[in-house]
Amino acid sequence: MPENGSTLAVFYENWLNYQNLLIKAIAPLSSEQLTQRADPRLRSIDTIMRHIIGARARWFYLMMGIGGEEFANLGGWDRRDAPERSAAELVHGLEKTWSVMYEAISSWTEEDWHITYQNDPGDEPETLTRQWIIWHLIEHDIHHGGEVSLTLGMHGLQAPDL
């Protein structure tokens, strides 16, 4: 990671802290608790967590070509036909994706941050930088982590202290 005290180091340290708060909240949940939803029309805790994991793996593996076969498989965890996961599996998915992302990010040079990728045709922005991808994943984790926190609280379960 970037030097301690840098703005980037602060972001990554707090992103990891955010993930650890999510892990602490979901690790003790039963399979039944993971099926809880804020509303019948909304996604379950399990589905939201699988979506966080799947998105991380897809952006890194499919867009940037980073990570191996196990990591790539995590990218399918939130697909419509994907099975539900236990709390232990969700924790493993978060930790595995973080490990691969951390290793990649901490190895990037200033020039590496400016590498670009073409987005899907018709999507905005047309060209994505690694900077954009990382910010998108941070905001994605925060958004969906908030959904998990709300759902836990609505059902009287310990929500992360976000």
The pair of structure tokens assigned to 65 is 């070509």
Sign of the CA dihedral running 100, 12, 75, 130: negative
Nearest Cα residue to 145 out of 13, 19, 30, 17: 19
CA atoms within 13 A on the CB side of 155: 19
155 labeled part of a ligand binding site: no
Backbone angles phi, psi at 118, to 5 degrees: -85, 130
140 annotated as belonging to a binding site for a ligand: yes
Which residues are part of a known binding site?
51, 140, 144
Which residues are part of a known binding site for a divalent metal cation?
51, 140, 144
